[in-house]
A and B are shown apart, each in its own frame.
Chain A
Amino acid sequence: MAKATPNVLAVTGNEAVAEAMRQIDPDVVCAYPITPQTEIVQLYAQLVADGKVSTEFVTAESEHSAMSAAIGAAAAGARTMTATSSQGFALMWELLYIASSYRLPIVMTVVNRALSGPINIHCDHSDSIGGRDSGWIQIYGENHQQAYDNCLQAVRIAEHPDVRLPVMHMYDGYVISGAIGPLTPLEDSRVREFIGPYQPVNPLLDVQHPVTVGPFDGLHGWYFEHKVAQNLAMERAYQVLQDVADEFARLTGRQYGLIDPYRLEDAEIAIVVVGSTAGTTRLVVDQLRAKGVKAGMVRVRVFRPFPYHTFAQALQHVKVVGVLDRADSFGAQGGPVFLEIRAALYDNDPRPQVLPFIYGLGGRDIFPHDIEQAFGVLDEAAKRVRRVSTQRRYLNLRQGRGLEHERK
């Protein structure tokens, strides 16, 4: 089959996702507006009003209700999607666990934004990173194209019979959601072909085969085994994620993997990063390479299930790894991604040093010189014989404002 003529659109990240949702044309969309996700809900409402999709669109009275309605719809057997951000994501919390434990293949777009307080509407990854243990598959996009591509792939992954887990896909609030970037969409027919029809498992609306969803498990029930089954599904998801990505590559020429390495083959120092900052990091890697520094980068595409084997292999030869976290885990040894990477590399021999960096909380800008500074720390550490401190290093942090007092 001939490839479609390249048709590049200038869209916001939210428009890219709304376009993907239009092409997917799910049975039900339940959502509640929250900055910076709102645009998706609005655009979708317009598509419904214009008769461009056959979706039942539900405007709930909160995110808790939006996710509850999504769960109800998915349990009934509908292909269901929703979208949220930040506090909305936090309000969905208890339902996230319900969706994953009932194995409902809901697809949710999460536009990454900081959590309160103080109230902050800008980008960081605290929201979705906080949901990492909720049993959802998590895929992080870097740019507009990936927001679109991940949304399409998410449907296939969630509904795959080996997986049957909800999938959330993320991209950075404002940086991607509100800013305009290039998008090469697929033709509607090709998306339909790729997505295929949905075959729900044990749907409530199959009235010939009545089922009960989510009752009390009894005093000595099978809760434990149920949780193990969820984790087994997560393990099977590695293969499915890759298979779906490969199939997508055959369709589009855009190849995705569990991780997204850049100039890593002979790197001595490398940065691990999530989201749109990968673009800035690539620029810095190129600049450092031009100066003769053997710098590399890996972007985390899939965070759950965490591809620890892939990371262990990819970072095998690297002396010092810096992990840039755009969320913190207060009181832990470092940020959430740092902890994962450090654990993943523990069995490597030789074992690379892994250093935690925190950046961009509450939308604080990250500049090339900040990333250069991080590479500087890695370079310095690589030259030393002894291991350096694994204290958190903050990029573009302002001094003053009581920090000195707290440090006492």
Chain B
Amino acid sequence: MKTPTETTTRLRRQTRARPKAHPHDHLLRTDRMPHIWCPGCGIGTVFGCLLTAIEKSGLPLDDIAIVSGIGCTGRMAGYLNLDSFHTTHGRAIPFATGLKLARPQGTVLVASGDGDLFAIGGNHFIHAARRNIDLTVICVNNLNYGMTGGQVAPSTPFGARTTTTPVGNIEEPFNFCSLAAECGATYVARWTSLHARWLTDSLVEAMTKKGFSYVEVLAPCPTTFGRRNRLGSGADLARFFHERSVIRNGIDPREAVLDFEKHLVVGKFVDSTRPTFLDNYELVRRREVGEWPFREEHTPHTSGRAHN
């Protein structure tokens, strides 16, 4: 058996020999590093918050799975030391739905970008929210398709320049938070990547909450979006978002607008409860759903979309 001194010396030698480990190393696929994200990109911050949130949530790591689609944020699944699935473009939510139904006791996270979740995969998002599948969807909104080089996305502000809208976007963007709430999501929050603590707390709440949770993060993409719109470095862009942000917890998501000239509304907009898909599935399976149309004393299995 080694003496304490010997052990200490050995540890010291090891510490000197190897670079200091990142505190989240056990959650990372360090064999996949270095990552592909650009300098100044906001995804790294969101990813860091997600790692912290996973730890804070206290959920057993063996029971967390992460699914992501295609795009810059889609690479998250590949860097996490969890069960992960990197799906095809736009299909993260249906894959995650299957995963959740096959293993209802597990926590299923979906991490993807605005393009993947709301353009090519938009249909899946609205239906998962409507069904209230117990998923946590994290959307890193960088206002364009970053990975393919900065094309127009359903999040690109009206008038903003991208490689496919060189003189300005002619289309109006979605308000994703409002969309999520209207479709029936029971947890909806939006932060910028500089709101690291709020974001982390939201992620913990979303992960530990039953039902469809949506957390959006406004993140800088200096390489494509920022450059095309002359918004400076990643830090400049993050500051631009942060300075214009106003926290309005509990506001009607329809009013939680992203107005880049005036203010970017962030905060927790929805935190409500209604039966999840699996709750109702169980009800139907046990033939306890009653006879439709329901009489008054036997209704509210699908209601409860009130925002609070």
Contact = CB atoms under 8 A, between A and B. Distances in A.
A42 interface: yes
B148 A45 contact: no
Interface residues of A, number: 20
Interface of B: 70, 86, 88-90, 119-120, 122, 145, 147-149, 151-152, 154, 163-167
B88 A33 contact: no
A62 B119 contact: yes
Contacts, number: 51
B154 to A, nearest CB: 7
Nearest to A46: B166
Contact of B148 (A35, A87, A117): A35
Given A33-B145, A35-B148, A38-B151, A45 B164 contact: yes
Interface of A: 32-35, 38, 41-42, 45-46, 49-50, 59, 61-63, 87, 91, 116-117, 119
Contacts of B154: 61
Chain B interface secondary structure, helix, strand, loop or mixed?
A: loop
Contacts of B165: 45, 49, 59
B88 A87 contact: yes
B86 A119 contact: yes
A177 B51 CA distance: 38
B273 to A, nearest CB: 32
A396 to B, nearest CB: 25
A41 B151 CA distance: 9
Contacts of B120: 32, 61-63, 91
Nearest to A62: B120
A62 B122 CA distance: 10
Contacts of A42: 149, 151, 163-164
15 contacts: A32-B120, A33-B145, A33-B148, A33-B151, A33-B164, A34-B89, A38-B149, A45-B164, A45-B166, A46-B166, A49-B165, A59-B164, A61-B122, A62-B89, A91-B89
Given A33-B148, A59-B165, A62-B120, 14 more contacts: A33-B149, A34-B148, A41-B151, A45-B163, A45-B166, A49-B165, A59-B151, A59-B164, A61-B119, A61-B120, A62-B119, A87-B88, A91-B89, A117-B88
B83 to A, nearest CB: 16
A116 B164 contact: no
Nearest to B167: A49
A33 to B, nearest CB: 4
A32 B163 CA distance: 12
Nearest to B89: A87
B136 to A, nearest CB: 23
A45 to B, nearest CB: 4
Contacts of A62: 89-90, 119-120
B160 to A, nearest CB: 13
A145 B219 CA distance: 41
A116 B74 CA distance: 15
A108 B148 CA distance: 20
A69 B29 CA distance: 41
Counting chain B CB atoms within 10 Å of each CB, the highest count among A49, A50, A61, A119 belongs to A61
